[in-house]
Structure 1
Amino acid sequence: MLPSQPTRPQPYRAYRLPAFLLSAMLLAAVGVATVWGLREFASSSQWVEHSYQVLGEIEATVAATRTVESSARGYRLTDRSTLHAEYLTSIPGALSSAGRLVALTADNPPQNHLARDLERKVRARLTEIDRLVELHSRDPAQARIDAQTSKGYEQMRELTALAQVMRERERALLAARHARSEHRASLLTALVVLGIGLAMVLLALLMYSLWRENRRSRELERETRQALIDLEASASERHLLTERHRSLSHYAGLLQSCQNLQEAMDMTAHLIADLIPSIGGRCYILRASQNLAETAARFGEEKIVSADLLHPNDCWALRRGQLQQVQGDRGAVRCNHLEPARGGDDPRWNLCVPLMAQNTSLGLLCLSGEQPPQDADLLLIQSIAEQLSQAIVNLQLRETLRVQSLRDPLTGLFNRRYLEENLQRELLRCQRRKLPLSVLMLDIDHFKRFNDTHGHAAGDALLARVGQVLHDLVRNEDIACRYGGEEFTIVLPETDAATALKRAEQIRAAIGSTTILHLRQTFGPATCSIGLATSQDDRETPQQLLQIADAALYRAKGEGRDRVVDGNRALATA
């Protein structure tokens, strides 16, 4: 079980509910105040609009009265019927405006009193105008005299003065209403801002307290989750290590049962692919000559391609006898057998692990991947390399014993059994890689006569000397064998007919200039005949190549010996 974490008491927990209730009350009060303020604002707007209507009706009443007066005066001066009709139609407008003004000011007694006075003065003025119009209709001259002595001017001046008083009072009332609206708006704004501010402060404090407690809870939850993850990772790692140890033990047992190096390499590749599927690479085996390492097995997908054949000097791990790891262009020096880096921030990595035993290089494990390996993977790879190195030593020792049984004791060359085993392998390898392979069949001229003349001991000395010459002239990858009696066979992998013909001429010339010293006597030089055969396609067999080379050898003897005959060319011209 995980240890329980002590929780510290929260000092502000007791104040959370009161703070929440107070915040709710403040927000509710702000809402009520906002609704009341909106209603007051609507009422104030209506009263302001009412004041503007009163002012408008005052102006309309005065204007309508002046219109009646102007129409009547124009009619009296011109007697035009249109002006008389205009006069008659304008009277109801003036009376109507005065009546509406009285109705609008009904809520304001002082203004209503003035409005009624204004209405009476309007009616008085209209009555006077109507009297003059009627008089004009009967007696225009008398109407002009009465107009000069009429009180119309005084009536109109009093009417205008009264209208001005009403305007001033209504404007004062309008200003007061504006001021009251502004005051209420400012008060409402202050109340809303203060209420919301206090509520937000209380809510912020409440949220801060909750946030601190939640953060602590999340920290405890995260610590608990991380502890569980670490526990699961530890259990998974222990299980993985157990499985790897079991696999390594099983692998070590299987290595002891391998019959050859290829089996050991294939088994190693399969084990690495199963235990570390994220990496790929290949296993190399150094040839007995220690000058070339050849790919023996592959596994996974190589992220950094390595050469099929490499020289030990091309790999820093083989040079130093130590593990060599490189990632991109960083770190250690890059081995020459690897493809060039992409440049920039290349995440790919390569690992070269030398296979060594008794201070001798045996081979190489070359691995690569997208992400750098973990320490556990490195330890596993090193353990596999150690076990594989010991297995290689044992298999090579066993192979050495087997090869010794395949050597010709007189010449030191391979015997016919070795030729038959390895010619098949080399031919298939070259055919798979679309490379040529040539075979030389060599026979010492007149060897039977030399043997009969100088004795079998001298004949054996000559055969040993020819074997030494062949051993010195062939390459490390060539196979020189004593085929039987005085016949020798040389397998030249990856060699075309033209190159094989030059090599055959070199061998013929070297044997032709060789002498031997036996029992204080010098014998030689001896000559030889050579038949050549070169693989033409991927369907040829070792027996066919040997038959072609043997037929070319007999043709060389038939043509006079001490010469080289190309069997493929002879078949083409036959």
Structure 2
Amino acid sequence: MSMVSYFFWLVAFIAGVVVAYFVPETSLSIGGKFFFIGAWGVVLGFVLFSICRKKVENAEVEFTETLNSIKGERFDLATRMPVNEKPEPEPEDLPLPKGAVPAKEALKKIEEVALRVGFPLEAWRKYARCLLKDRPVPEVVKALEELLPKLFPNASGILYMYAGTQTDLHKVLSFGGYMISDDVIRPAECASFDAGDIVISDYSNPNLTGGCTHLHHHPHGVSFCAPIEGIEEHFGILSVQTDALPDNESMDDWHAKVSIVATTFGQYVANQNLNIRFKQQSIRDSLTGLFNRRYMEESLAREVSAAIRHNSPIGLIMLYPDAIVDILQSKGRHAVEQLLWELGQRLPGYVRSEDIPCRYEGEVFCVILPGADLKITRQRAEKIRNEISQLQIAYGDAILSTTLSVGVSVMPVHAGDANTLLYTAGASMHMAIEAAGNRVVLADSLPKKS
């Protein structure tokens, strides 16, 4: 396969990515864009495969025509002879016509073309299917781990990704018979991080300096380092090192293959990142960062069903900042939002890991406590009230502070279903507000229905 074919394939793929990027989201959703990019890559891969197969077929045709031309020339020589003359025996090595290719050379040429089409299509298709079907990250990484050794024979490599922070890159997978880098590196140790492009290091060059300093375990042959990027974000690095390139492949061939893997995997990771952000935005309150009302209602229904099924209790706390009206009148809406934001940041630290803190509506917050009886729920409510009453929030030259009016309801003591549990907790909170706030009111205090 010539480098021209590889070049045009890469240009076509990048063109598809650019087209998808500039199509308005009103016409094509984010998910649709990445599906298009994946499908475009598969189509181009099929085209590349078809071109390679066509070249093999052309070589076979050329070989067949060569043999036929040889036979035809011998027949023409025979017919030009006088009828009364006896043909001479054919020599064992009859000279071939001008431009003809000996059979051995033709077969050798076909074999060379077939070797150059040594693209691991089966492994590539499995990897591409995982991308197109948006499979989970572990499944995609496993498919990539199977593809890389076949795509880069006699080479070793390592794939790094960030793990929670952008300070260190951690090994996700490695392949090959030897180690080329550490399990954890700093992004600055790889030249591709600053370059934003594939960096090739030829260790046979005596003038080679700098470059990818993390590849210190086996600095031989040639190495390729590519950034894993997508939608202007950096997610990791792919490094591949080989002592010698295969005889039928060039530096440009490997550069193209590294680029294809890094680009497709980078776009997949970017898509996963967008999905996570979208999911977070769909269940999180934009101001406080707590779970929103929609998620609270779904969680409450789920937890109540589990509580009924396992005959276990469930507590619900609803709370309201008493100073909201005074802060709004004296300092404005922005100060209120600052107070709500601070409460949203601190509330998760005052509850258990299994509890679900939410912003219910406006200035009202609530906490779902799975498995908590009346004693545990009341203690937790008192802890939250006490902690918030001591909170001092800097706001310019002023200090923001508030107490809480808290309502507590527990199932099955005060309610038998989710709606009643929510109602009794809210009614208890309003009783606390009407009693001048800064207190916890249990649903026991509600008037009994006659």
TM-score by length of 1: 0.34
- Higher alpha-carbon Rg: 1
TM-score by length of 2: 0.42
Whichever structure has more helix as a proportion of its residues is 1
